[in-house]
Amino acid sequence: MRKPYIAGNWKMNLDRKSGLALAQALREGVGDRTDHDMAVIPPYVYVPEIVRALEGSPIRVGAQDVCDQVSGAYTGEVSAAMLKDVGCDLVVVGHSERRHVYGESDGLTNEKLHRALEAGLEVILCVGETLEERQAKETESVVRRQTSTGLAGVSEADMARVTLAYEPVWAIGTGLTATPEQAAEVHGYLRGLVSGVFHEEVAENTRIQYGGSVKPDNIRELMAVGDVDGALVGGASLKPDSFLPIFDHAG
């Protein structure tokens, strides 16, 4: 049984005060509920303070990126060990904004994923096609390449710390959401891929989040899809009034 998993990617939004207020409101709203998992993913600079604000709460805290190197002369970068050191639980790798705005490759994404796992962090690996790729009927080949390269070299045991997120690029921040049928197709395909790379039991236990314009009014229909195990939420995760209902309606 895969527990619903709702994560809020704040991207480069909020400030210290509003981030702390949001964390506090989520803490109160979630209480000690553990029937669903929740994570918040603030910008790097706020991670330590949000970790402290959520201490003792079941809400987990993540980072939006991580360096592909262990340590050393990498100006501007933050290592997986540093994130672990300040109490961070997980990192996102391969987000479409990293891939498409900053040109990050599947290989780099795979290195980042390994550094995170080696440091004892959990990982959300994002995959998803652009509109042009969907129109060219390349959705499966794109998510296959992103998933198989992204997961290269990961052990079966480490897959327990990996969540996949299917985020069609055309649905991110656009108000366009994949229909439940579109999500079902790709999520089912991804589960089959994980089964092929590892085996069926790993695939059955791997959670696959959907991301792209998730809102309180579409979460139920998305979660009704058997292979959708949660959501990676951007804009609607910035306010307790929209993020808490998404969490509530996820199961």
Dist. CA 22–CA 26, nearest whole Å: 6
Site for ligand 13P in 216-245 (CB under 6 A): 232-236
Site for ligand 13P in 1-30 (CB under 6 A): 9
Least distance to ligand 13P, CB of residue 175, Å: 8
The dihedral of CA 173, 179, 181, 182: what is its sign? negative
Is 95 marked active-site?
A: yes
- For residue 40, the one-letter residue type is V
- For residue 91, the one-letter residue type is V
Per CB under 6 A, the segment of 144-152, 165-173, 178-186, 239-247 that binds ligand 13P is 165-173
Radius of gyration of the chain (CA): 17
Q: Does 214 bind ligand 13P (CB under 6 A)?
A: yes
Q: Kindly determine how many residues on this chain lie close enough to bind ligand 13P according to the rule CB under 6 A.
A: 14
The dihedral of CA 159, 236, 56, 49: what is its sign? positive
97, 167, 187, 249: the catalytic one is: 167
Least distance to ligand 13P, CB of residue 30, Å: 19
| 188 sits in which H/E element | helix 180-197
95, 114, 187, 249: the catalytic one is: 95
Per CB under 6 A, the segment of 26-34, 101-109, 167-175, 194-202 that binds ligand 13P is 167-175
Q: How far is CA 223 from CA 36, 175, 177, 185, 220, in A?
A: 12, 18, 13, 14, 5
Residue nearest ligand 13P by beta-carbon distance: 234
- For residue 31, the one-letter residue type is G
Nearer to ligand 13P, 80 or 231 (CB): 231
Q: Catalytic amino acids?
A: 95, 167
Contact set with ligand 13P (CB under 6 A): 9, 95, 167, 172-173, 211-214, 232-236
